[in-house]
Amino acid sequence: MTEHKIFVIGGEDDEFGVMTSLRSAESCHLSFLFRGRRIEATSDDFFEAFCQIRMELEKESIIPFCYGASLNVYPSRMSRQMAGGMVAYRLTHGEPAKERVSIFDEGMDVAPSSIENQKAFFADWLASLGSPGGPH
């Protein structure tokens, strides 16, 4: 079990939650303690579970400030299979994916985004490469 302190956009100044991750042989489980309540999600990989938690947060106009919720970050199929979706690629249109980041880390280059916009950016990035397969 690993804990990550994640600041949020759209809340009070310096507001944050604590994400706990637990991986079993069958699934990846996340628990986000935020504003005195716990939001939980389980999926095949942590990125998908994180998206489930983000859907709940988006109902309150809250976006986590970390790479997993950054507009230009998305995991590859291999990352989702081998690293459980804990690692994703920072993407630049027209360039192959090279730089990996941990989805719960933060940095000055995080561009907080809705899930919808992040998925659209990923689709646009794929199209900019002219490749249907995405990052491997």
CA distance 69 to 111: 8
* pLDDT tens digits along 63-99: 999 999 999 999 998 888 888 899 999 999 999 999 9
Domain ranges for the chain: 2-129
CA distance 107 to 89: 14
Token representation of residue 125: 């990035």
CA distance 33 to 39: 7
* pLDDT tens digits along 20-57: 999 988 899 999 999 999 999 999 999 999 999 999 99
Question: Dihedrals φ, ψ of 70, to 5°?
Answer: -90, 140
Q: How confident is the model at residue 104 (pLDDT cuts 50, 70, 90)?
A: very high
User: How much is the pTM?
Assistant: 0.90
> What was the pLDDT predicted at 129?
87
Token representation of residue 17: 């939650």
> What was the pLDDT predicted at 25?
82
The answer for residues whose C-beta is within 8 angstroms of residue 103's C-beta and 6 or more apart is 46, 47, 50, 66, 67, 68, 73, 75, 85, 86, 87, 88
The answer for residues whose C-beta is within 8 angstroms of residue 52's C-beta and 6 or more apart is 30, 41, 43
> What was the pLDDT predicted at 132?
56
Q: Is the pLDDT of residue 131 over 60?
A: no
